[in-house]
Amino acid sequence: MSLLPLLIGSETVRHAIAADELLCPTCDQPVTPQKFEEIQARERERAAIVEHELEDRFARAMAEGEAARKAEIESIRKEAAAAVEQANHDAAVREASIREEAAKSIRAEITPKLAELEESKRLAEQRVKEVTENQDKRLQEQREALESAHKEALNAEKANAFSHNQKLEEKVEQLQRQLQEKTAHELGEGAEINLFEELKRAFPHNQIARVGKGVSGADIIHRIMMNRRACGTIIYDSKNRARWADEYAAKLRRDQLAENAEHAIPCTAAFPKKARQIYVQDGVILLNPARVIAMVSILRGLMVQAQVLRLSNEERSEKTARVYALITSERATKFFQQHEAFTDKMLEIEVKETRAHQITWKNRGELIKGQQKLFLDFWMEIEHILGTGDVDGSNLDE
Specify the higher pLDDT residue, 186 or 276: 276
Q: Is 101 part of any domain?
A: no
Percent of the chain whose predicted confidence (pLDDT) is above 70:
76
Asked if residue 272 lies in contact with residue 243, where contact means CB atoms within 8 angstroms, the answer is no
Same domain, 216 and 273: yes
Same domain, 246 and 369: no
Same domain, 221 and 294: yes
The 10s digit of each residue's pLDDT in 299-356 is: 888 888 878 777 676 677 777 778 778 877 888 778 777 877 887 788 788 778 888 8
Beta partners for residue 230, in sequence order: 225
Query: Which pLDDT score is estimated for 164?
Result: 58
Cα separation, 240 vs 185, in Å, equals: 9
Which pairing describes strands 229-237 and 263-266: parallel, antiparallel, or unpaired? parallel
Q: How many CA atoms lie within 13 A of 61 on its CB side?
A: 6
Domain boundary residue among 87, 107, 125?
Answer: 87
Same domain, 191 and 308: yes
Cα separation, 152 vs 205, in Å, equals: 53
Structurally, the chain folds into a number of domains equal to 3
Cα separation, 359 vs 90, in Å, equals: 104
Mean pLDDT, the chain, rounded, equals 76
What are the DSSP calls for 338-387, one per residue?
HHHHHHHHHHHHHHHHHHHHHHHHHHHHHHHHHHHHHHHHHHHHHHHHHT
Q: Is the pLDDT of residue 15 over 60?
A: no
Query: Which pLDDT score is estimated for 236?
Result: 94
Query: Which pLDDT score is estimated for 24?
Result: 72
Same domain, 258 and 393: no
Cα separation, 63 vs 55, in Å, equals: 12
The 10s digit of each residue's pLDDT in 84-97 is: 888 888 888 888 88
Query: Which pLDDT score is estimated for 176?
Result: 57
Same domain, 13 and 27: yes
Same domain, 194 and 295: yes
Q: Is 124 part of any domain?
A: no
What are the DSSP calls for 136-150, one per residue?
HHHHHHHHHHHHHHH
The 10s digit of each residue's pLDDT in 54-69 is: 888 888 888 888 888 8
Q: Is 34 part of any domain?
A: yes
Cα separation, 31 vs 62, in Å, equals: 42
CATH code (residue 320)? 3.40.1350.70
Helix then strand count (H, E) for the chain reads 8, 8
272 Cβ contact partners less than 8 Å away, ≥ 6 residues apart: 244, 246, 279, 281, 286
Same domain, 195 and 297: yes
Q: Is 122 part of any domain?
A: no
Same domain, 357 and 294: no
* Residue 183: closest CA among 240, 249, 268: 240
Query: Which pLDDT score is estimated for 161?
Result: 58
Same domain, 278 and 366: no
Q: Is 156 part of any domain?
A: no
Domain boundary residue among 66, 87, 108?
Answer: 87
Q: Is the pLDDT of residue 206 over 90?
A: yes
Domain boundary residue among 328, 348, 376?
Answer: 328
The average pLDDT across 362-367 equals: 83
Q: Is 140 part of any domain?
A: no
**Residue 277 pLDDT class (50, 70, 90 cuts):** confident
Query: Which pLDDT score is estimated for 167?
Result: 62
The CA-based angle 34-38-42, given to 5 degrees, is 165
Residue 36 belongs to domain spanning: 4-87
The 10s digit of each residue's pLDDT in 109-163 is: 778 877 877 787 788 778 777 767 776 677 677 667 666 665 666 566 566 655 6
The 10s digit of each residue's pLDDT in 209-246 is: 988 777 778 889 999 998 888 889 999 988 777 788 88
Same domain, 324 and 190: yes
Q: Is the pLDDT of residue 183 over 60?
A: no
Q: Is 116 part of any domain?
A: no
Cα separation, 193 vs 199, in Å, equals: 10
Asked if residue 389 lies in contact with residue 395, where contact means CB atoms within 8 angstroms, the answer is yes
Same domain, 356 and 377: yes
Q: Is 158 part of any domain?
A: no
Tell me how far apart the terminal alpha carbons of the chain are, to the nearest angstrom.
164
Q: Where are the beta strands (DSSP E) in the chain?
A: 22-23, 30-31, 207-210, 220-226, 229-237, 263-266, 278-281, 284-287
- 290 secondary structure, DSSP code: G
Beta partners for residue 237, in sequence order: 266
Query: Which pLDDT score is estimated for 254?
Result: 92
φ, ψ of residue 270 to 5 degrees: the values are -100, 135
Asked if residue 14 lies in contact with residue 20, where contact means CB atoms within 8 angstroms, the answer is no
Q: What is the reported pTM?
A: 0.40
* Residue 235: closest CA among 189, 270, 267, 202: 267
217 Cβ contact partners less than 8 Å away, ≥ 6 residues apart: 211, 235, 255, 258, 259
